[in-house]
Structures are given as C-alpha cells and as structure tokens.
Amino acid sequence: MNNDKVITGSDDGKVRIYDINLSKMIFEIELHQDFIRDIIVINKINNTVILTCGDDGSVNICRFINNKIEIKKKFDEAHADFVMKLSNNPKDDKMFASCGMDCIIKIYNLESETFYTLPKCNAGQCSIEFSGKNISDPILISGGDDLNIYIFD
C-alpha cells in the first residue's frame, strides 16, 4: 500500500490495514458479505484509491484517508455471480476492469463512477489484465473456465 502500511482482504468480507512499524492492525471495515477475491491499490498524489471485489458480486471504490477507508461508491450488483479479479489500466488511472463467473467483463470509470459491459464471454472469467507491448497502447486480456483467452482493444 505504501512504505509502512499493508492491506489485506479476507474470507469474512473484511478489509484490514496494518501498520508495519507498529506491528498492529490500525483499521478494519466490512466491505463484502462473502470472500474478498481481489484488492487493487492505486496511489495518486494526495489520494489513495482502493478497489475491491468479492463473492457477493459487488465491486467497491474506496478512498484511504487518515488511516481509514471510506466507501466512495459501491456497485452492489456489479456481477450476477462471484467477481474474481480486477485490473487497472496502466495508461489511464481512471479506468479499471472486473471479471466474474457470470461470463461478464465490465469497464469502470473512477471519475464518473459508471461502468459499461463488454460482450458476454462463453464461460466464467477468472482472470483479467491490461497488457500490451508498451504502456501507451494497453489491451485488455481475460481468461476463463472455457480455457479460452479473450482480447479486447
């Protein structure tokens, strides 16, 4: 998260922040009703954004301020099944994606707090990543239970 803090997500739906120097937990919040599958931390100048997803089908956009997590936006029904993975766009720090076992991939905008849905895949999607030959032209790649790779540009 930063040089002296670590963030974790657990099967109890809670996110915890630990201070390494103090060797103790400094904050805890329940963000999901089931397992947390993924957490992404985006460190910006004077603004740390935390993204979470879980088995309850939700995606959260949070801010880390004064050693606490504040929920900025909660997409309660982002997916109809487990949300397996998140990925942020290395070229555009306002954009991130989620994929789930409902065969859906969604692209989110952090500024407008909206999303759009890509065409449905043939099977549940377990992994997603923005990638490419160089950071100036990232592509979105996902992999699913049908053993196929889907590429979106």
Q: Which residues contact 141 (CB under 8 A, 6 or more apart)?
A: 128, 129, 130, 131, 149, 150, 151, 152
DSSP 119: P
Say which CATH number the domain at 88 has: 2.130.10.10
Per-residue pLDDT of the chain (153 residues; tens, 9 = 90+): 677 899 999 999 999 999 999 999 999 999 999 999 999 999 877 789 999 999 999 999 999 988 899 999 999 888 999 999 999 998 888 899 999 999 999 999 988 888 889 989 999 999 999 986 666 778 999 999 999 999 988
> pTM, whole model, 2 decimals?
0.91
Closest CA to 128 of 109, 94, 95, 100: 100
Residue 26: give the domain boundaries.
5-152
What's residue 63's pLDDT? 93
Got the DSSP string for 5-39?
EEEEE-TTSEEEEEETTTTEEEEEEE--SS-EEEE
- Measured in whole angstroms, the distance separating CA 123 from the mean position of its chain's CA atoms is 20
What's the domain count of the chain? 1
What's residue 132's pLDDT? 65
133 φ/ψ sector (left φ>0, alpha ψ -120 to 50, else beta): alpha
What's residue 153's pLDDT? 80
What's residue 1's pLDDT? 66
Asked if 97 and 140 touch (Cβ cutoff 8 Å), the reply is yes
